[in-house]
Amino acid sequence: MTIATAGTKRRAQIVSAWSFDVFDTFLLRTCTTPDGVFERTYELSGISRTCPNVSASFVQHRIQAEARARRTAKEKRGGSEIRIDEIYSYFPFKLFGLTRHDLSDLAESEFAAELELCRANPDMLRQYMDMKQAGHRVGFISDTYWDSASLARLLRACRPGLTWDFLYASCDHGSGKSETLFAKYLSEQGIDASVSFHVGDNDKADIKSAKRHGIRPRYYPQATPQLASKFQRETALLELLCAGAPARLDHGARTLRRMVAARNAEKSPAFHLGMTVLGPVMTAFDAFIVRRCREVAGPGRKVALAFLGRDGFLPHRIWRDLHGATSAYLEINRRVSLIASADTMQPLIGLLGKVLKIDAPAFRDMIKILPPKVAAFFAAYPDGIAPGEDLAEALPKLMDAGEIVDLATALRARLLAYLRHTIPDFDDCTDLVLADLGYSGSVQKALRRVFDMEGIKIRLHGAYLISLDDAFDDVAEQDTAAGFISDLVVTPHIKRMLIRNVALLEQICCSADGSVRDYDGDRVLREINPRPASQIALAAEIQAGALAFAKSAEDVALDFCLDPNAAPDIAARWCTATLARFLLLPDEDELALLGGLKHDVNLGTHALAPMIDSDFLRRRITARGFSAACASAAPPMWLAGSFARLSPSNAYLYTLFGANRLPADVFEESPCGQVQIGLFRANAAATLDTVTLYRTGFGELRLRIPLSRTMAIAMIALPLPKFAAEGLLHGVTVQSADDIRDAAESQDVAGIAADSLISAGVRHNGAHYRTENDDACLLIPVGPMAHVIAIYSVAITPLGSSPK
């Protein structure tokens, strides 16, 4: 009985406590990273007015001042804990037009920035209050340069009336959580570590240190490592693509993404991609569409909103979920609208000129007839498939313009019947907002011509995610067009890089149906849909993640007092960075998930173009150099993904090229010598020829060997010891044409199979080779030449010392 009574008394004396880290756990900041506080300090202090456009320098000097203060404290006191005034004592006041009398003002400005940017984390607050109500002692332990009085002020500003049992700021005690602060807390508060818990986001300071003192840790990371990596790349791209703009203040957009992701952690990779990347972009685009509709609205105006299919399918779904059935989904594409608006043959010629390949059935399906001359034109091409450019050039001789006009008139009538059925009260509308991914407003312009032909006075207003703004100069005077990611957000050069890679976004956003080809009353007639079921299912899962973000974003934003779309220009910049990171710098998981997608060519064909073809890029780099590869026309449709498949650094270099930040004299090739090669004819006769040796910015060597058919060369002999006795052979390619310039510029680059190359006196181990004697050579067989000229290119990275 005595023993039992003693045990009861001991258990009654045991104190259980829950301690919370403050920053990035109990309090969250509405900026991309903690140093966003310094960026806001730059603005609040007034330095942004006296020294404009130097926020990055201010932030870096603030960081360096803290590092120097901690280093000095360590040397003098043996500990690195410091206060805010010590940090600013190492700040370069004179650089920013200040004196040391301004120290306290800077510290107060930084605290004002904390007050403005910090928010109480509702998830942590609920846990805090639950523990308090359960009878546990609760409080805060923070590694911070703010003293406990400042910390208390900040906590109560974020949560008025908040109380606690203890509050520890490391700067007050000269020791952090990784040192002795936990031990001091346990001792002073009489806490039993074995029944106490600590919640924090820092693996070292909060988790490992708590464990070392016997406290049970609860890990609360800000983001998964994968999401944190995406954020780092986004910040780098924002600074690159939107140079000079604040890089850390985003009105809480990234905080919102983190919190939505944290509440939906156990999902598929495709869903997670939609929720963390595509969802935030499309939700911000939705807010832009809302603003566009408000801009158009006015007294006496009746505004309708329509999303253009197929690419507008996901934005339409998001609008419907957020705003109800207040918009239409129009299945209309450039081909249908251009033909319907034709009063001459020119629109059709312009359309066909942009088509990669087309055959007779596709042409007949497009314009409903196949004149004999057109059929004969296709019959003259291999497999009846002709380049669209060739057909466009020949069309005026193959068809009568009157036939096109008659077909256009009939299609126009069917299109208008479809519009009247799909858009409620169509004829009573004064203004129609057309929402789409973008880019040059071709459908909007074609509809304008259709409306003008039919005497319809409805004004048209484009609302595009991405816009080629120089294409809007010919928009009708009564109409308007605007892009969320406009040329005021990023430069036209960058914009074209994004659009070169936008096919990936189109495939993810579009509907599961084939593209429209015609109408029958209220029924849409569609082309065949050649995309595999697995691709359609993958896109649906990504869209589901995007919809989940859109649905929950508003509630989460209210919980955390966030307003990411408060400043449209800032929202546009960060959406650009988010989208550019996805399109230009995909990570390995995204490449694995999306690399197998195909782009459907439409036009009634089963043709599917690859998104990624890294072998094509490797051959093109070998044949023409890195910059030429960066300027490759489609396919592959996802050029940046193809570079990323080669390596992440290749993808970043491609991004630099697109941002016009890749100096040609650094990364392109330059002559570095000459070498004699052997040319062998079929009759064994041999000649020597001298070719120029080039070195690229990557340290690779290039040889280009032009041959003509009349030379009848059967074999090329490269004396490897003369220029690279040991190295990595990246490949041998050939380009062909009927003149030397066309051959050199040809994008049709064929690779020579490695097993067809013959080595004499050369030892190989995969791509690596080593010559065994001075007479060693690489023999390249020359195949039959279908054209007059063939250019053979060889790419080698030399290893070891260069030959003298």
What would the 3-class secondary structure string for 222-236 be?
A: CCCHHHHHHHHHHHH
Count H helices, E strands: the chain? 34, 29
Distance of CA 639 to the CA centre of its chain: 13
The answer to whether 514 and 522 are in contact (CB under 8 A) is no
What percentage of the chain carries pLDDT values higher than 70?
A: 97
Nearest to 796 by CA among 721, 733, 724: 724
Tell me the chain's radius of gyration from C-alpha atoms: 33
pLDDT at 664: 77
The answer to whether 636 and 609 are in contact (CB under 8 A) is yes
Q: What is the pTM of this model?
A: 0.90
User: Encoding tokens for residue 669?
Assistant: 């090739």
pLDDT at 604: 55
User: Encoding tokens for residue 560?
Assistant: 């955390």
Contacting residues for 410 by C-beta, under 8 A, at least 6 apart: none
pLDDT at 10: 40
pLDDT grade, residue 349 (50/70/90)? confident
pLDDT at 4: 42
14 pLDDT higher than 80? no
Give the integer Cα–Cα distance in Å for 21 and 206.
7
The answer to whether 564 and 249 are in contact (CB under 8 A) is no
User: Encoding tokens for residue 760?
Assistant: 């004499």
The answer to whether 370 and 360 are in contact (CB under 8 A) is yes
The answer to whether 174 and 77 are in contact (CB under 8 A) is yes
Query: Phi and psi for 198 in degrees, rounded to 5?
Result: -135, 135
Angle at 74 between CA 69 and CA 78, to 5 degrees: 145
Instruction: Tell me what the pLDDT averaged over the chain comes to.
Output: 92
414 pLDDT higher than 50? yes
Helix, strand, coil share of the chain (percent; to 5): 50, 20, 30
User: Encoding tokens for residue 313?
Assistant: 């399918």
pLDDT tens column, 79-131:
999 999 999 999 999 999 999 999 999 999 999 999 999 999 999 999 999 99
Contacting residues for 528 by C-beta, under 8 A, at least 6 apart: 514, 604, 605, 606
The answer to whether 660 and 493 are in contact (CB under 8 A) is yes
Nearest to 197 by CA among 180, 210, 179, 178: 210
CB-side neighbour CA atoms (13 Å) of 90: 19
Helix (H) or strand (E) holding 657: helix 648-658
**Sole residue written with tokens 């956003």:** 509
Alpha carbon separation from 555 to 11, 52, 173, 259, 274 (Å, rounded): 43, 37, 40, 11, 18
Nearest to 330 by CA among 496, 503, 450: 450
Nearest to 364 by CA among 606, 605, 609: 605
Nearest to 488 by CA among 461, 474, 468: 468
pLDDT grade, residue 343 (50/70/90)? confident
Contacting residues for 301 by C-beta, under 8 A, at least 6 apart: 430, 431
Average pLDDT (694-714) is 93
Average pLDDT (64-72) is 97
pLDDT tens column, 351-409:
788 777 788 887 887 777 888 888 999 999 988 888 888 998 998 888 887 888 888 99
665 pLDDT higher than 80? no
pLDDT at 803: 52
pLDDT at 800: 77
Nearest to 317 by CA among 507, 509, 525, 502: 509
pLDDT at 701: 95
pLDDT at 689: 94
pLDDT at 606: 67
Rama region for 329: left / alpha / beta (φ>0; ψ in -120 to 50; rest): beta
Q: Structural domain boundaries of the chain? A: 16-222, 224-234+245-329+416-607, 612-665, 669-798
pLDDT tens column, 284-338:
999 999 999 999 999 999 999 999 999 999 999 999 999 998 899 999 998 899 8
16-222 is a CATH 3.40.50.1000 domain: yes
